[in-house]
A and B are shown apart, each in its own frame.
Chain A
Amino acid sequence: MDKPMSLSANADGLLRYRDDAPHEEPAVTLDAFLGQTNATAVRIEAGDDARALIPHLGQIALVEISFPSFRDGRGYSAARILREAGYDGELRAQGDVLVDQLLPMRRCGFDSFAPESEIDAATAEASLSRYENFYQKAADGVVPIWKKRHG
Chain B
Amino acid sequence: MYKYDTYDQQMVDNRVEEFRDQVKRRLAGQITEDQFKPLRLMNGLYLQLHAYMLRVAIPYGTLDSRQMRMLAHIARKYDRDYGHFTTRQNIQFNWIKLEDTPDILAELATVEMHAIQTSGNCIRNISADQYAGAAADEVADPRIWAELLRQWSSFHPEFTYLPRKFKICVIGADEDRAAMRLHDIGIQMVMRDGVLGGRIHVGGGMGRTPMIAPEIRDFVPADDLLSYLEACLRVYNRYGRRDNIYKARIKILVHEIGADEYRRQVEEEFIAVKALGLDPPQAEFERITQMFADPAFVADDGTAVDRSDPDFALWLDQNVKPHKQPGYAIVNISLKPQGGIPGDATSAQIDLMADLGERYSFDELRVTHAQNIVLPHVRQADLYTVWQQLDAAGLAPANLDLISDIIACPGLDYCSLANARSIPLAQKITERFADPARQRDIGELKLKISGCINACGHHHAGHIGILGVDKKGTENFQLSLGGSGAEDVSLGKITGPGFDEDGVVDAVERVTETYLGLREEGERFLDTYRRVGMAPFKEAIYG
Docked pose: A107 CA to B155 CA in angstroms: 10
User: Are A131 and B161 closer than 8 Å at their CB atoms?
Assistant: no
Q: Does B29 contact A (CB under 8 A)?
A: no
Docked pose: A127 CA to B17 CA in angstroms: 10
Q: Does B414 contact A (CB under 8 A)?
A: no
* Chain B, Cβ-Cβ closest to A151: B283
* Chain B, Cβ-Cβ closest to A126: B21
User: Are A84 and B7 closer than 8 Å at their CB atoms?
Assistant: no
Docked pose: A65 CA to B362 CA in angstroms: 52
Docked pose: A131 CA to B157 CA in angstroms: 13
Q: For this complex, into which size category does the number of interface residues on chain B fall?
A: 35 or more
User: Are A70 and B161 closer than 8 Å at their CB atoms?
Assistant: yes
* Chain B, Cβ-Cβ closest to A117: B35
Q: Does A23 contact B (CB under 8 A)?
A: no
Q: Which residues of A contact B284 (CB under 8 A)?
A: 146, 149-150
What's the least CB distance linking A141 to chain B, in Å?
Answer: 12
Q: Which of A70, A133, A136 contacts B278 (CB 8 A)?
A: A136
Docked pose: A134 CA to B14 CA in angstroms: 11
Q: Does A3 contact B (CB under 8 A)?
A: no
Q: Does A22 contact B (CB under 8 A)?
A: no
Q: Which residues of B contact A145 (CB under 8 A)?
A: 7, 151
Segment 237-275 of B: residues with Cβ below 8 Å from A? 237-238, 242, 272
User: Are B162 and A77 closer than 8 Å at their CB atoms?
Assistant: no
Q: Does A56 contact B (CB under 8 A)?
A: no
User: Are A149 and B121 closer than 8 Å at their CB atoms?
Assistant: no
With A73-B161, A100-B22 as contacts: A133 and B10 at CB distance below 8 Å: yes
Docked pose: A74 CA to B281 CA in angstroms: 29
Q: Does B512 contact A (CB under 8 A)?
A: no
* Chain A, Cβ-Cβ closest to B242: A72
Q: Does B326 contact A (CB under 8 A)?
A: no
Q: Tell me the count of chain A residues lying within 8 A, CB to CB, of chain B.
A: 37
User: Are A104 and B281 closer than 8 Å at their CB atoms?
Assistant: no
Docked pose: A77 CA to B234 CA in angstroms: 7
Q: Does A87 contact B (CB under 8 A)?
A: no
User: Are A71 and B38 closer than 8 Å at their CB atoms?
Assistant: yes
With A70-B38, A130-B14, A150-B281 as contacts: A136 and B276 at CB distance below 8 Å: no
User: Are A84 and B152 closer than 8 Å at their CB atoms?
Assistant: no
Q: Which residues of B contact A108 (CB under 8 A)?
A: 157-158
Q: Which residues of B contact A7 (CB under 8 A)?
A: none
Q: Does A80 contact B (CB under 8 A)?
A: yes
User: Are A134 and B10 closer than 8 Å at their CB atoms?
Assistant: no
What's the least CB distance linking B15 to chain A, in Å?
Answer: 8
What's the least CB distance linking B109 to chain A, in Å?
Answer: 14
Docked pose: A30 CA to B38 CA in angstroms: 30
Q: Which residues of B contact A104 (CB under 8 A)?
A: 155, 157-158, 160
What's the least CB distance linking B164 to chain A, in Å?
Answer: 10
Q: Does A24 contact B (CB under 8 A)?
A: no
Segment 8-66 of A: residues with Cβ below 8 Å from B? none
Segment 101-133 of A: residues with Cβ below 8 Å from B? 101, 103-105, 107-108, 123, 126-127, 130-133
Q: Which residues of B contact A80 (CB under 8 A)?
A: 158, 234
* Chain A, Cβ-Cβ closest to B18: A130
Q: Does B156 contact A (CB under 8 A)?
A: yes
Docked pose: A104 CA to B160 CA in angstroms: 8
Q: Which residues of A contact B394 (CB under 8 A)?
A: none
Docked pose: A148 CA to B284 CA in angstroms: 10
Segment 10-40 of B: residues with Cβ below 8 Å from A? 10-11, 14, 17-18, 21-22, 25, 35, 38-39
Interchain residue pairs with CB less than 8 A apart (25): A73-B160, A73-B162, A73-B163, A74-B237, A74-B242, A76-B159, A77-B158, A77-B238, A104-B160, A107-B157, A108-B157, A131-B14, A134-B157, A135-B154, A135-B155, A135-B156, A136-B278, A138-B157, A138-B158, A145-B151, A146-B151, A148-B7, A149-B7, A149-B283, A150-B280
